[in-house]
Every structure is written in C-alpha cells, then in structure tokens.
Amino acid sequence: MISQTTEYALRAVVHLASSQRQGQASQTTQQIAQSTKVPASYLSKVLQSLSRAGLVDSQRGVGGGFQLARPMETMTIYDVVQAMNELSRIRECPLGLPEHVNLCPLHARLDEAIELVAKAFRASTIAELVDTAPPLCKIAGLACGAPREP
C-alpha cells in the first residue's frame, strides 16, 4: 500500500518525535539511520523530501541535525505519506474508456479503499504513535506494547 520510501519517512518522523519527547532537540542523519535501520545515504534523500514538505527542519553545524517542523500533535501519518508518495483517488476511468462515464465497480471499490486508508491516516497523529507504545520497539529490542515510563 505504501512504498518503502514512505515507510522510511514514517520511521524517521516517529524517531524524531520520540527524541523530542525525550528532550533531545535534534538528531543527525547517522543517529536517525542507526535507530530506524534505514541506510544513511538513502535517509538523507528522505529527510530532504520531508524538509521540502515542511515536516522537518534541518540545522547545519555543531549541534545541528533534524527536528520536527511542526508539533507532533498536529502532524498526521497522512501528512508524511502525502509528502512522500500521494494517495491518489480514482476520479475517472484509469483505462481511459470513453464509455465509462462512472467508475466501474472495480475502480469504484478501489477508490473507496483508498479513501478509507486516507481517513485512517488523517485520524492518526505522530504523537499518538509515540505515546501509545515505544516507537520502533522491535528495532530497539523492547517488547512491543510494554507500558512507557511516565
């Protein structure tokens, strides 16, 4: 449903949100790559795309790195997905058939599914992902679903 690049972007954003929640101002590409298990060279491109979309800010130099550009409470999974690879609705026949003035049952059903996914992504904030359970818990070697320390 979503590309590997979008998955990497979501991992990076969740990592930045988690770091922010723990009081760490910014994270370097290497720190993010290590935590998210994303190749650093590819992660750089992902972070550039997130920056162009206004989801992360970057600062060069000593003490620099990446941080969220907006509060995690207002940033949604949908925002990240759309920044990387838009979920496109099906508005007209993808086959270009002139006799299909309405979507055929197949494409109508696919469009409904896309809208349901988009709705779920819009309803899920990055803060909820960070606050529900330790983010990226399998990567960090923690038990998923384990309660977080207050």
Q: pTM to 2 decimals?
A: 0.82
CATH number at residue 9: 1.10.10.10
In a domain, 134, yes or no: yes
In a domain, 15, yes or no: yes
Number of domains within the chain: 1
Beta bridge partners of residue 125, listed in sequence order: 76
DSSP of 55-76: SEEEE-STT-EEEESS-TTT-B
Q: Which two tokens stand for residue 91?
A: 């508005």
In a domain, 150, yes or no: no
Find the domain containing 80 and state its range: 4-86+125-140
Model confidence pLDDT, tens digit, residues 58-117: 988 777 799 999 999 999 999 999 999 888 888 877 777 787 778 888 888 999 999 999
In a domain, 146, yes or no: no
Say how far apart CA 81 and CA 73 lie, in whole Å.
Answer: 16
